[in-house]
Amino acid sequence: MSDLLGTEAEDAIPEPPAPEGPGLFGMGAPAAPKPAPPPVSNQPYRVLARKYRPSTFSELVGQDALVRTLRNAFASNRVAHAFMLTGVRGVGKTTTARIIARALNCIGVDGQGGPTPEPCGVCANCTAILTDRHPDVVELDAASNNGVDDVRELREAVRFRPSMARFKIYILDEVHMLSSAAFNALLKTLEEPPPAVKFIFATTELRKVPATILSRCQTFHLPRVPQATLRAHYGAICGHEGVTAEDEALAIIARAADGSVRDGLSLLDQAIALSAGRVTTTAVQDMLGLADRTLVLDALEAALRGDLPTLLAALDRAHERGAEPAVLLADMLELVHTLTRLNAVPSLAKDGALPEHERTRGAALAASLSVPVLGRAWQMLIKGVPEVQEAPDRRIALEMVMIRLAHVSDMPTPGDLVRRLTEGGAMPAPRPAPAPAGGGTTLRAVAGGAPVAAVPAPKSWQDVVALAADADPMLHAMLLHEVQPVSLAPGRVDIVPRPAAPRDVAARLSAMLERATGARWMVGISRAEAAPTLAEQSRAADADRLAAARAEPFVQAILQAFPGAEIMKVRDTGADRYGLSGPAALTGAAATPDNLPDFAPPDAMPAWDDDEAPPED
């Protein structure tokens, strides 16, 4: 076809064929044109924490109790005028506040709806709140608006009705940062706000909020999100993003998040950028400066077994992989806690949340250790935390902490030492050994061959009770308060236990006397009339001394000279540790001392002259 000028149309002209072979100047064929780059989006990148921020109650992660309560409140039209949301960072406090604001102001697709727990997300109010541009939803940062003048402006603003929404919503984040005067200025408005005003407070430190504020709000405690829930949530997000992630890598991120959804999403965002589309365990460990959990278990097991070469080699490998010493020590503390739980409750090894090596190797290691050994390891590691943090070289400090832990691996615990000294080595004699004539001590054999001095046989009930003071404090308390003595002879004691005394008090007393004296003792339960307990005899002796002191003329003169003065306690320097001047009574008679010395202070004046005889009774 031809145009108006008689030339052929442009689309009718065929394209020239592609040149073949070398060109005019011997050059090769021209290179094929490069493919056009993919179109670049004009929208800025949104981080995962913002992109996957929940917009409805059903999308909240790990807050089932809160969601159920708010749903029921909307269904029954019992929505409070003030809410207090508290919890650690990143669990959804501000997100929940925005969802409540949308639920209160949603008008539905047809514009006729009312407050609902399922906001539509398409009406004018929902879209404006989602984009943070609604004039009736005011979000304030209490850290920068914490003065009484700011609260005064808020009080003036709540007097006006909402401009376009059903309710005017005030969201105050980090409300604990308000000053005391600001809190006080808010009390009356918070207690009786206008019908169209709702307050939603969020805080991470609930204890700093005055009780007068809390009493005017419905408080919701948002708990930390469990690791299993976080791991599943992060896996679903990786699926939406088209990213492949290893289960162990997601488990490490969920553990590092410490119950915070936002913290874990920030770590996942970083891991995706680092791994170029495939999140691997090694990449996450390198990103967080962590050691392999298997390597941590190897190092801890070597330390608890006292294997220093294996321990130092494991620490060197962790250092080569870039593990921070403080993080490595924290991982060991967490592992000791896990081993202690497995030792206390072996069925926890079936928990799928634990890594495979902790459920197998960890359970076997926990079964081979005792709670005192694990407790000692915990104490040594926890005391090493400030050492590692304050040391000029943290790697050296960590090695010193672990070497100390390995050094005590073959040492008995304090409980084992006491058991070996009191029970494990004692060899009872076949028959009672005769007491030496001179009243000296005897020797008894113990395991290890070293003779140990045995105490002389007790001659009074006080001596029997005193032997238990160091050997068995619980038995000593029972003998002092709940056991009445009847008779005491070489190798035999008869007692009358009171109902509060344990049933094995006789057996425990016999074993204690045998360990202390090296001779067998028979302890019988008698039905005969018994003397009062040693504690009762001690109190009776104190009362007698006090009465004797009050009867002294010199003391009476002092009391008359100082009206209102009282004798609080009389101390007898010749009494034993139980306040008795002689052997304790072993019969049913009253426990009164026979030869109570006359009482008088060292500097007291005599009541009569030398040439006068003392008054006769």
pLDDT single digits (tens) 389-418: 999 999 999 999 999 999 988 888 777 766
Asked if the model's pLDDT at residue 25 lies above 60, the reply is no
Same domain flag for 251 and 352: yes
Range 482-518 burial, b when 16+ CB lie within 10 A, else e: bbbbbbbeeeebbbbbeeebeeebbebbbbbbbbbbb
The mean pLDDT value for 470-483 works out to 85
The mean pLDDT value for 23-36 works out to 52
Q: Quick one: pLDDT band at residue 601, thresholds 50, 70, 90?
A: very low
Same domain flag for 389 and 479: no
Same domain flag for 187 and 277: no
What phi, psi does 414 have (nearest 5°)?
A: -55, -35
User: Which amino acid, residue 606?
Assistant: P
Q: What is the pLDDT of residue 167?
A: 92
Alpha carbons 117 and 71: distance in angstroms, whole number: 6
Q: Which residue has the higher pLDDT, 435 or 496?
A: 496
The mean pLDDT value for 244-251 works out to 89
Question: Which of 369, 391, 407 is the C-terminal boundary of a domain?
Answer: 407
Find residue 523's DSSP bridge partners: 493
Decide if 323 is inside a domain.
yes
Same domain flag for 389 and 508: no
Closest CA to 181 of 143, 153, 212, 149: 149
**How many CA atoms lie within 13 Å of 76's alpha carbon, on the beta-carbon side?**
8
Same domain flag for 380 and 236: yes
Using DSSP bridges, classify how beta strands 442-445 and 451-454 pair: parallel, antiparallel or unpaired: antiparallel
Q: Count the domains in the chain.
A: 3
Q: Which residues contact 248 (CB under 8 A, 6 or more apart)?
A: 281, 355
Judge contact between 61 and 54, C-beta under 8 A.
Answer: yes
Same domain flag for 210 and 278: no
Q: Which residues contact 420 (CB under 8 A, 6 or more apart)?
A: 412, 447
User: Which range, of 81-95, 178-192, 594-608, averages the lowest pLDDT?
Assistant: 594-608
The mean pLDDT value for 435-459 works out to 51
Q: What is the pLDDT of residue 613?
A: 46
Same domain flag for 340 and 299: yes
Burial of 534 (0-12, 13-18, 19+ CB in 10 A): buried
Burial of 390 (0-12, 13-18, 19+ CB in 10 A): exposed
Asked if the model's pLDDT at residue 83 lies above 90, the reply is yes
Q: Which residue has the higher pLDDT, 450 or 559?
A: 559
Same domain flag for 172 and 89: yes
Same domain flag for 386 and 247: yes
Query: Any idea what the CATH number is for the domain that residue 54 is in?
Result: 3.40.50.300
The mean pLDDT value for 435-452 works out to 43
Q: What is the pLDDT of residue 172?
A: 92
Q: Quick one: pLDDT band at residue 436, thresholds 50, 70, 90?
A: very low
Q: Which residues contact 75 (CB under 8 A, 6 or more apart)?
A: 117
Q: Provide the mean pLDDT of the chain.
A: 81
Q: What is the pTM of this model?
A: 0.55
Domain that holds residue 188: 48-221
One DSSP character per residue, 514-526 reads: HHHHSS--EEEE-
Q: Which residue has the higher pLDDT, 304 or 19?
A: 304
